[in-house]
Amino acid sequence: MKGVLLAGGTGSRLFPLTRITNKHLLPIYDRPMIQWSIETLVTAGITELMLVTGGTHAGEFLRLLGNGHEFGIDRLSYGYQEKPGGIAEALGLAERFCDGEPVLVMLADNVVERSVRPMVEAFGADPHGARILLTKVTELEHLAHLGVPELDDGGRVVHIFEKPKDPPSNYGVTGIYCYDASVFDVIKTLEPSGRGELEITDVNNHYVTQGLMAYDVLEGFWGDAGESIDAYYAVNDFVRAHGANKA
């Protein structure tokens, strides 16, 4: 399985910290944010990675990571997203890199307490369709900022709603997804949303309608360090106290 880390975007929710750098290069405790997501994939057994970024600070990732060997990466490729066009568009840049193999996609501002290896192994055992990682959310106001799945009585996902005012469940979709190689064909069929982007929720709902969506529920802490200044510092505090990517 290949790994794709998405580290683009303008980082506007972390202004003014991101006026001078990409948000994924900001520190989380004792290292740049991007290193935590690399560790997430490497400790899950994924060592061929592509990092997709954009903007004026893209070259800083090459200075930091080089060929990736220092971080346990066997093969590290880079992709450049010329303008913010959405998560799905950024993933589409990795089609040649994935070369027909299944892929784990991770938004690089996600930080998890526990390893995602169980999800990777489950998808690797049956690499068809899609598999997403959910987290249980107790604050209803937080769900209004996430993708939220509607589940039927059997626990199957029947639809994913983006930033719903009336959440259909208390689970949020994290920024960690597994797809088979057909995802790149799906992306080519998408139309831009109202904000002019190709949405990853549309990709996920395609697999839902095909009956090809599975999921895991993450144990332990999950944080989106790019969600807001408060969230950024909350993730910092958690990682400093408890660490991340533990088995």
- CA nearest neighbour of 226 among 90, 72, 43, 26: 26
pLDDT tens-digit profile of 178-191? 999 999 999 999 99
Looking at the chain, the whole-number percentage of residues with pLDDT higher than 70 is: 100
CA 238 – CA 138 distance, rounded (Å): 17
**Distance set, CA 27 to CA 5, 111, 220 (Å):** 17, 12, 22
| Residue 240: per-residue pLDDT | 98
pTM of the model: 0.96
Per-residue pLDDT tens digits for 34-79? 999 999 999 999 999 999 999 989 999 999 999 999 999 999 999 9
Q: Does domain 2-130+176-192+221-242 have CATH number 3.40.1190.20?
A: no
Rounded to whole angstroms, the Cα distance separating 237 from 28 reads 9
| Domain positions in the chain | 2-130+176-192+221-242
